[in-house]
Amino acid sequence: MTKWILIAVTALALAQGAAAEDIPIPQERPKLETPAPASLPVPTPTSPSSESTDKPSPESTDQETEEPKAPVAKLEKEDLKELAQCLSDLRAEGAAFKTAEQIDDGDGCGIDKPIILSEVLPGIKVIPEAKLRCQTALQLSRWTKDSVLPAAKVALSGDKLTVIENASDYVCRKRNNAKTGKISEHAHGNAIDIGGFRFASGKRLDVEARDTDSTLQGAFQRAARATACLYFTTVLGPGSDDAHKTHFHIDILERSRGYRYCR
Ligand SMILES: [Zn+2]
Distance from Cα 182 to the centre of ligand 1, integer Å: 13
Distance of CA 117 to the CA centre of its chain: 23
Distance from Cα 17 to the centre of ligand 1, integer Å: 85
* Tens-place pLDDT, residues 211-260: 999 999 999 999 999 999 999 999 999 999 999 999 999 999 989 988 99
Distance from Cα 254 to the centre of ligand 1, integer Å: 16
174 pLDDT band (50/70/90 cuts)? confident
Q: Is the pLDDT of residue 70 over 80?
A: no
Mean pLDDT for 70-76 is 70
Distance from Cα 2 to the centre of ligand 1, integer Å: 103
Ordered by start, the domain boundaries in the chain are 80-262
Query: Domain 80-262: which topology?
Result: Muramoyl-pentapeptide Carboxypeptidase; domain 2 (3.30.1380)
**pTM for this prediction:** 0.72
Q: What is the DSSP string of 218-258?
A: HHHHHHHHHHHHHH-SEEE-TTT-GGGSSSEEEE----GGG
Mean pLDDT for 71-76 is 74
Mean pLDDT for 15-20 is 41
Distance from Cα 69 to the centre of ligand 1, integer Å: 22
Distance from Cα 191 to the centre of ligand 1, integer Å: 6
Mean pLDDT for 165-194 is 93
**pLDDT score for 62:** 37
Q: Is the pLDDT of residue 49 over 70?
A: no
Distance from Cα 236 to the centre of ligand 1, integer Å: 8
Residues surrounding ion ligand 1 at CB below 5 Å: 191, 193, 249
Residues of the chain with pLDDT > 90, as a percent, come to: 63
**Residues in Cβ contact with 128 at an 8 Å cutoff, skipping those fewer than 6 apart:** 166
